[in-house]
Chains A and B, each alone.
Chain A
Amino acid sequence: MFKLTLKSLLARKIRLALTTFAVVLGVSFVSGSFILADSLRSVFDKIAIEIAGPNWLQVRGVETIEDDSFSRPPVTQSVVDQIRSTEGVYDAEGVIQGFPRISVGDELVKPLGGAPTLAFNFDQQRAELSGFETLEGSAPGDSEAMVDIDTANKYDISVGDTITIRSLQPAEDFQVSGITRWGEDNGGGAVFVLVNTATAQRLFDYPDSYLAVTVAAMPGVDESELADKLTRELPDGFEAVTSDVVAGEFSDEFDTFITIFQTALLVFAAVALVVSAFIINNTFAIVLGQRVRELGLLRAVGATGRQIRSSVLIEALLIGVIASVVGVFAGLGITWVIKAIIEQAGDGSGLPDGPLVIAARTWIAASVVGIGITLIAAISPARKAASIPPIAALRDGVALWSGGGRRRTVIGLLLGAGGVVATILGTTTDSGAGRQLTLLAAGALLLFVSISLLSTLVARPAAKVLGWPVTRFARASGNLATQNASRNPRRTASTASALMVGLALVAMVLVVGTSFKKTFSSTLDSSLGADFFVDTEGNSSWGFSPQLVDEMNQIDGVAIAVGFRGGPGTAQMTVAGESKDVIGTQEEGLGRVIDISLIEGTYSGLANSGVLVHKDPAEDLSLAVGETVSATFPVSGPRELRVVGIFDDGSTLGNWVIDMTTYEDGFDPARQSDLFAAIELEEGSEVDEVRPRLDAVAINYPEATLQDRTEYKETIEGEIDTLLVTVNALVGFAVIIAVLGIVNTLMLSVFERTKEIGLLRAVGMTRRQTRRMIRWEAVIIAVFGGVLGILVGILLGFIAVQAMPESFITDFGIPLGNFVVILIMCIVAGVLAAILPARRAARLNVLDAIAHS
């Protein structure tokens, strides 16, 4: 039986290749996700190893807020002195780290792939403690700085050039005194700039103090013992840890990031796999349908049903194995494509480079997924094949698959109901992100299977309707194409369903995106009253210097410029034991430049230890205007804040808004970036008239972008579009697989209809007409899939929009234009999918075809 299976596989090479290809694409996405994540991990692991390097210790303040590394109080000079005089310590150096913005001329220096721009203090006498190596030039003196070798190369910076460093202080020019390198190869894509200690303390606001202290032990002294000793002997609130701990913390931080990234990619991979499963299932069903007589003969000569079933499953197993192996290697290619897509979406920065890593688990995951999905998809065709009676060998046209049986309809309806329930549960219940995501995924999957089952019912009328214009357009071939598309509703439905899955997700993303744009547009109109907005360049969370707002306020014609502080990263305070994102701003002008729809209270009083709270948390914590709430800040610790107002619109500022002075006291100097600013002009000042003056200031802040209302709207919409394109490009893999599914189905249909096509050719159908017939059939199937996809996508999009918080999306919008584009693309996809099968049909030797038995 095994030999027979193998022979039957090899006898149909094209079918084998097409089926395998569908699995390969799905598997390659999975392995690509793993390869990309593992490769990123290896980059960061390498950095971690370099951090751990030759053993050293770090002394630092103990976190005042758990898991918030920004909440460590600075280390004073006296502590550094104490460390240096501790027995067993060879030397110690205070470290200052800042997040400045660097520019060369008016070009902002950008790190790679979301890595930071980091400034450190560096002095020649303790250079070996820094981890930096001077490659050229010398350590920086006053008004001097060193830059790392990669940045120097990328931006063509040489010793003696001038760079601008912006920090908490006004922008300052520095002369490049040397070129440096961190560790062995500068790692991770970060931009490094080094200044001397006095300058770093001034720029980053560490008066006579440091972020942490790097400590080298005397030769022969055990680092962990020294760490324990230092922790014991130093004043309370300071701790000493070994370099391994620091490296571990670094790895953990990036591991979290990579895991999220990988999970996101695997979601797309899962979509691709679902589509593959549809196609494998359909292919097996068609092929076995064509082999009914052969299988009947096998049964007649004594093969048991079980043997037939095993034979089909072995075939699936072989395909799964081949596809998994090929898929892993194809994953290398996919890695490249994914990288390209992400780079396209990002700010030209991309992901850090590194060698591609195929870990053992990639092989395991690929095999499990590839073989598993193929076997699962083959189960139902295998069972049906096993039930073929021996009589099928003698009779022509024993139908293996009926059209749309009642059972099919009932199962379809049940699954559909289950899918909708799961989706709604997933969006409404608050059972944790993981479980909600699982529910959503399960709901969508059930819905897809349900639609594919039920679409059998509408496939025939749908093909007729879609075929109608085609019949007008190309009479005979159009009519035949329509008939062919509707002759086997199950096949048409399955093939179209594969396309439906991918397109449903594309459509859903588009619906959500459009709704978001619509929401944003109405927010802009109703609540953003400012004339100009300042945003962070490239929309990063690093923010811009608060100096900008101060300078804007000096400009003639500006009524008020309001800054919103909260970066870099996300500033968080602790309320009732939970971390809350918080924004610092000022009460003056707040209601005018940004209206957050106060329900109760006023803006005034914010400056006096006040806080503005969104209605949701206010309700959760039963806060009313006039009451106090205790919040804990990283630097200033616990503080009583008085609720001055409760607001409704959290779409721009989030849930918690405090005064700038509260913010400045509460967070360490490194976290004093403005994320956003809004500028209102004086009555009578013209936008065009003030703009040049604003530009003159903004040009000194390349990390910030100044925009008027129209530009701001366009930018935000552009960002949404970029995100949509990125997501859809990744979903696009599933669509490509689905198009291959159409190729597969048509190819098999052409084989199946060899005689019929021969007859048509004999009675005078030209090759061109033959090709046209196949092409229109493909187009009808593709457009059917497209229509189904769009309808399901609108449904999913509607559920998603309903589920999202009101602060995020309020309006619902349907992107009609995009849907028209999708349908046009379906037509194109159909035409492309038909190329090979159509050519095959047209090239059929008429004589062979009609003699074919």
Chain B
Amino acid sequence: MTTATSTSIAARAVKASKVYGSGDTTVRALDELSVDLASGELTAIMGPSGSGKSTLMHCLAGLDNLSSGKVYIGDTDISELSERALTLLRRDRIGFVFQAFNLVPTLSAEENINLPRQLGASTPPESWVKKVVQAVGLSDRLQHRPSELSGGQQQRVAVARALAGQPEIIFADEPTGNLDSKTGGEILQFMQEAVRDLDQTIVMVTHDPSAAAHADRVVFLADGRIVQELITPSADLILDTMKRLGD
């Protein structure tokens, strides 16, 4: 999907519901939520704890099943897919960046970046991987193990790993949650550049207004529903919106 334009949809949720428990203890993590996530954008999903933002991301990424409704990655209805097909979809079409523990400790930075390919993902052009590695700017540390890298460096490698597979969409779960603001800022910058310069699609869950301020679009969730959307907002506007929504 390297030809995706900014108008096409990378991922979509339709009347997505996720219910935990039953009876009195029922929790509706997602409540008939529908959202379209456009290609070529950095989207931030925000919301207070328990708003369903992580659940939404997990369901979009095929890590979790919906109770009802549908999720599409591109044109693929992933609620229909088998476990194995989901795994391959994640491998070939989705990238991940987690808050922490993004890297396999026994593999070098380079090996981590190449992990999806090693696992059998279709190979993007060599030039692309080179480009990504260059963009990460860690050429001299590629042979190091994660334990020999700083937290910021580790997250850069994680983002590079996600990018290297040339996925249709990258999901990032609090990618800067474990970093100080300066290092976090660098990572966000890097992600922004990836979207802008490399034409990538990133969906990021965060509760940090300054992180969300890097996004093209910010979606606010509460009680499993979308309650507000902002386009290229400033950190202050985001903070205000959060306050208003009662975070």
Contacts and interface: CB of A to CB of B under 8 A. Distances in A.
Given A479-B107, A484-B106, A764-B116, 11 more contacts: A476-B118, A476-B119, A480-B104, A483-B104, A759-B98, A759-B102, A763-B95, A763-B96, A763-B116, A765-B87, A850-B101
30 contacts: A475-B118, A479-B107, A479-B118, A483-B106, A483-B107, A487-B106, A756-B104, A759-B102, A759-B104, A760-B104, A760-B119, A761-B87, A762-B63, A762-B96, A762-B98, A763-B96, A763-B115, A763-B116, A763-B161, A764-B87, A764-B90, A764-B92, A764-B119, A764-B121, A765-B87, A765-B119, A766-B84, A766-B87, A766-B88, A850-B98
B158 to A, nearest CB: 10
Closest 7 CB pairs of A and B: A764-B91, A483-B106, A476-B118, A476-B119, A766-B87, A764-B90, A755-B101
Interface string A704-731: 0000000000000000000000000000
A480 B101 contact: no
A164 interface: no
A480 B121 CA distance: 16
Interface in B67-93: 83-84, 87-88, 90-92
Contacts of B107: 479-480, 483
Interface string A753-781: 00110011111111101000000000000
B64 interface: yes
A762 B101 contact: no
A846 B96 CA distance: 13
Contacts of A487: 105-106
B120 interface: yes
Contacts, number: 72
B15 interface: no
A763 B63 CA distance: 10
A91 B84 CA distance: 91
A759 B88 CA distance: 14
B244 to A, nearest CB: 29
Contact of B119 (A484, A756, A769): A769
B141 interface: no
Contacts of A760: 104, 115, 119
Contacts of B87: 761, 764-767
A762 B102 CA distance: 10
A479 B111 CA distance: 10
Interface residues of B, number: 29
Given A756-B101, A763-B91, A480 B106 contact: yes
A767 B105 contact: no
Interface of B: 58, 61, 63-64, 83-84, 87-88, 90-92, 95-96, 98, 101-107, 111, 115-116, 118-121, 161
A847 interface: yes
- Of the candidates A484, A487, A764, the one having the most CB atoms from chain B within 10 angstroms of its own CB is A764
Nearest to A850: B98
Contacts of A763: 90-91, 95-96, 115-116, 119, 161
B212 to A, nearest CB: 22
A13 B207 CA distance: 38
Nearest to B61: A762
Nearest to A758: B101
Contacts of B63: 762, 846-847, 850
Nearest to B94: A764
Nearest to A479: B118
Nearest to B89: A764
A487 B104 CA distance: 12
Contacts of A846: 63
Contacts of A850: 63, 98, 101
Contacts of B111: 479
Contacts of B83: 767
A847 to B, nearest CB: 5
A141 B128 CA distance: 106
A386 B64 CA distance: 42
A392 to B, nearest CB: 17
Interface in A149-196: none
Contacts of A761: 87
B205 to A, nearest CB: 13
A767 B84 contact: yes
A755 B102 CA distance: 9
Interface in A432-490: 475-476, 479-480, 483-484, 487
Contacts of B91: 763-766
